[in-house]
Amino acid sequence: MNHQHPTGAMSRAVRRAYDRGQDDEGLEPLVLIGDAGPVGAFQPGDEVIFYNLRGEREIELCRALADPDFGHFPRPADWRVNLTTMIQYHPDLHAAVAFGPQEVNDTLCQVISAAGRQQLKISETEKAPHVTFFLNGKRHEALPGEQRRLIPSPKVADFARVPGLSASQVADAVVEALGDPGLDFIFVNLCNIDVIGHLEDEGAVIAAVEAVDAQAGRVLAAAGQAGVMAVVSADHGSAESWRYEDGRPNTGHTTSDVPFAVLGPGLESVELRSGGALADVAPTVLSLLGLEPPPSHTGRNLIIGATPERRRVLYLLIDGWGLSDGQEGNLIRAAATPHLDALLANHAWTRLAAAGEAVGMPPGSVGNSEVGHLHTGAGRIIPADRVRIDQAVADGTFYDNPALNAALERAKAGGRRLHLIGIVSFYSSHGSVDHLYALLELCRRREAERLFVHSMLGRRGERHASGAAYIGQVEARLGGLGRGRLASVIGRYWSLDREGNWDRVAKAFRLYAHGEGAPVPEDR
């Protein structure tokens, strides 16, 4: 079977959704409709390849699709699909994995734990996976001696209404923890700049920056009173370059450096190296704790000369705090930040590379919270899953991948449908449209017949209306391939949840299982 399918219906439907006030991230489900109804609804025994990366936002949907004991919302009595994921999202998922996990051992937190020292991670839930899973080298379980304090993020549809998020409660928890002398290492994430920076609301972003500044001031003052050394840094940039050259908001991450500052007892006159990167953080923090970095840490201690005697350390990560000398679109400079200004004016600090090859990403790639936290803890550069898969596509081994080929063969042998689901974006940390195109090429080579693509949109770091442009490109690619249809489109707000908002995930599931959504008639 090698039918040519017309293109354009779904991309036009996305543009009509824009006219109704919807955006890419919150796009309500769109379903391609043929003579017999939804053309790409999942059927029992179908094969599903989820090609997204990262993983923490993919777990809930994967459980709904493949967990035999799933109970968060109803599924059809005969529900059964075979799921293959591009990488391992969670070891307990019922899914084949195309590219297995990399072992990231001897992380900062593992070394602290192995030394019998006590540590505490504090974050609001919006960034919980980053201070736990990613910082710990992509491990879900807590380490011996590791405590976690996760403050609920506000449950609102629009974070612009609450730019302070739960930063004050996070700071409360840090101040309390600083009073416990048994805690040797406290890691805290203030996430407002990153989370609110993804919104097209300049006033809310500035308010978020100012909220972070106020709470950082509280935390650092409390650390000083407790005699605890403090390290302040970030994982990537964002709001320091919030506009494109044409003046439109740039709600994505950036390639900017991030600051790295130290202060507290014994650090009054230290000097820091220049030319560092996030991989240098772990050996530096270990030196402040009086612990020897393991041989796997190829990063360098950023402190020049001898470090102070062993003391307690607070690590304050200000998510999304990038450095830019420019004024235009720099919402961090536009905000009132007396505490952060004083930090950089009065204490030792340096710049760290937090994007591109410095964090295991392709050259010129923006940073993100996942690789940022991973490299903060890893002490060396870890090749990103995107790079591993890009290399496999380039050298051709992608097309021989056993898990991917097994899914295609099962579909062909059983006369089942094959569904490719994932984000369509070039910039998203959740995946690349290029990996979808590689899968489509694999389908061409293996002559896959009943092929359906289900796209997710989420404009972070993309220009206005980019989602419709991507959908048009996918439609064109399918038309050129001569097989497969773009069966559905949905905003990532619904499909990629990570905080137990099962009503959102249920909407995505009903799209896939029942073809529920706004009907988009096939072009004829």
**For residue range 112-144, what is the model confidence (pLDDT) as tens digits?**
999 999 999 999 999 999 999 999 999 989 999
What is the predicted pLDDT for the residue at 466? 84
What share of the chain in percent tops pLDDT 90?
83
Q: Is the pLDDT of residue 260 over 50?
A: yes
**Are 448 and 411 in contact, with CB atoms under 8 Å apart?**
yes
Q: Which helix (H) or strand (E) holds 151?
A: strand 146-151
The CATH number of 9-100+387-521 is: 3.40.1450
Q: State yes or no: pLDDT of 524 exceeds 70.
A: no
Where in the chain are the domains? Answer: 9-100+387-521, 108-256+277-345+354-382
Confidence check: pLDDT of 464 > 80:
no
Give the pLDDT of residue 462.
62
Q: pLDDT per residue over 287-345, tens digit each?
A: 999 999 999 999 999 999 877 777 899 999 999 999 998 888 999 999 999 999 999 99
Given pLDDT bands bounded at 50, 70 and 90, which one contains residue 460?
low
Mean pLDDT of 416-420: 97
Q: What topology is assigned to 108-256+277-345+354-382 in CATH? A: Alkaline Phosphatase, subunit A (3.40.720)
The band of 227, judged by pLDDT with boundaries at 50, 70 and 90, is very high
pTM for the whole structure: 0.78
Interval 415-441 mean pLDDT: 89
Residues 20-31 as b/e (b if ≥16 CB within 10 A, e otherwise) read eebbbbbbbbbb
SS3 assignment for 333-397: HHCCCHHHHHHHHHCEEEEEECCHHHHCCCCCCCCCHHHHHHHHHHCCCCCCHHHHHHHHHHHCH
Q: Is the pLDDT of residue 1 over 70?
A: no
What is d(CA 220, CA 215) in angstroms, rounded to the nearest whole number? 9
**Tens-digit pLDDT profile for residues 474-520:** 999 999 988 899 999 999 999 999 889 999 999 999 999 999 999 99
- Asked if 48 and 41 count as a contact pair (C-beta separation under 8 A), the reply is no
Instruction: Show the CA angle centred on residue 21, arms to residues 17 and 24, nearest 5°.
Output: 60
Average per-residue pLDDT for the chain: 93
Three-class secondary structure of residue 411 per DSSP: helix
Q: Is the pLDDT of residue 412 over 90?
A: yes
Instruction: With a cut of 80, say whether residue 9 has pLDDT above it.
Output: yes
Q: Which residues pair with 220 in a beta bridge?
A: none
Report which of residues 169 and 387 the model is more confident about: 169
Of the pLDDT bands very low, low, confident and very high (cuts 50, 70, 90), residue 427 is low
Per-residue model confidence (pLDDT) at position 245: 85
User: pLDDT tier at 6 (50, 70, 90 boundaries)?
Assistant: very low
pLDDT tens digit sequence for 59-118: 999 999 999 999 999 999 999 999 999 999 999 999 999 999 888 999 999 999 999 999
Which of 251-255, 396-400, 477-481 has the largest mean confidence?
A: 396-400
> Nearest-CA neighbor of 18 among 7, 32, 30?
30
Q: For residue 4, is pLDDT > 80?
A: no
Average pLDDT (34-61) is 93
